[in-house]
Amino acid sequence: MDNNLNLNDFDYKLNKRYISEYPRGKRDESKLLIYQNDKIFNSNFLNLDSYIPDNSTIFLNNTRVINSRFYFINSNKNKIEILVIKTKNFKKSDINNVEIEGLIGNRNKWKNEEILTQTRKNIKLEALKKENKIFFRWNSKRSWDEILEIFGIIPLPPYIKRDVIDNDYNDYQTVYSKVNGSIASPTAGLHFSEKLIDKLKKSHLIENITLHVGIGTFKPIREKNIIDHKMHSESISITKQNILSIENSKNIIAVGTTSLRTLESIYYLAVKISSGESIDFIEQYPYQNDEKYFNRREVCKIILEFMKNSNIEKINFKSSLFIIPGYEFKLCDQLITNFHYPKSTLILLIAAFIGEDWRKVYNFALDNNYRFLSYGDSSLLYKK
């Protein structure tokens, strides 16, 4: 790993006109850029099956975006925004009280211990900031998930400069979203329609993994030397069936950077298991002192044996794996992904996956009027 990566080397000029404020009319009719064998060309997402190897295993992230953005008006008529990142010290027995970790917009206008309120469906919701802690409470037996649905707003990314509309509650979810927990959509999956998935299932294996996208997706890198950036951890869930599918796969495709990070984190689960270490958490640079190397089958054998001995069918863990140029990919062959913000952790991942050609790919996309970021177009990248 290069210990001196300059952030400015991963910059490019992104004009606002390339940032898509709305999705295309149909999910699977977005443009598709193909990068394969050093060649770049245009296609349509509907034709994805024509460009992927036969009998591939395609990994989808089935996380579902929660309505994690709240707006209140305080006593001085100031608008206070709260973005819920995660719940803290949450017990199911606390049916009308929860502490959350969150980001506060207009923080200085919200006095300590001032109670913010709003009412919907005869439910009074209160937010309280006390000693840098944020609490929600409500006068109903409704669950926290129900409160999110009733009062929360789907959290479109900050670079979409418009108000949320009704269509966003559908458009910003993948058609296969299932497990509540993300504060951002795994947007590479937004291009898949149910019809296209059914078509892919005829020739390929579709697998679902779960990574709940956290605030780290939008956290800018402020350090000049990239390796000094601190990654947020994200919650991941994998199943025995996932591992069996990896073991039997000749070609693995990750849909989105979150699926890719999950697959690569699985490799380091095997490393930790083989060393007798805790597997609760994968640090951001587990590969810094990589002395062991396992092939794909060895990885799966280690994890399957661990699951058998532990009598479990699923592993839940957290990962802050930070993939940067110089990283050697272990479990993924192709990546389906959107076009990402300059100088972001996601651009670094792309640069790690296809090397210096990332700039050629992005210049091609700009020259061919691809739409960028969450509601933008897509790409299929073959590992360099």
* Residue-range definition of the domain harbouring residue 246: 7-65+169-382
Do residues 68 and 183 make contact, with C-beta atoms less than 8 angstroms apart? yes
Q: Say how many domains are in the chain.
A: 2
pLDDT at 321: 96
Residues 324/287, Cβ–Cβ less than 8 Å: no
Last residue of a domain, which of 93, 125, 151? 151
Taking a C-beta distance cutoff of 8 angstroms, is the pair 201, 192 a contact? Answer: no
Residue where a domain terminates, one of 91, 123, 151: 151
CATH of the domain at 322: 3.40.1780.10
Question: Is the Cα torsion angle 319, 324, 329, 330 positive or negative in sign?
Answer: negative
Residue 156 lies in a domain: no
pTM: 0.95
- Residue-wise pLDDT tens digits, 16-55: 999 999 998 899 999 999 999 999 999 999 999 999 999 9
If 0-12 CB within 10 Å is exposed, 13-18 middle and 19+ buried, where does residue 262 land? buried
Q: Is residue 164 part of a domain?
A: no
Q: Is 102 helix (H, G, I), strand (E, B) or coil?
A: strand
Statement to judge: residues 206 and 252 lie in one domain: yes
Residue 94 is predicted with a pLDDT of 64
Residue 325 shares a structural domain with residue 372? yes
Rounded to an integer, what distance in angstroms lies between the CA atom of residue 20 and that of residue 370? 9
In a domain, 373, yes or no: yes
pLDDT of residue 131: 84
Residues in the chain, pLDDT under 70: 1-3, 89-94
pLDDT of residue 291: 74
Does 310 lie in the same domain as 188? yes
Residue 71: predicted pLDDT: 97
Contacts of 354 (CB under 8 A, 6+ apart): 35, 361, 381, 382, 383, 384
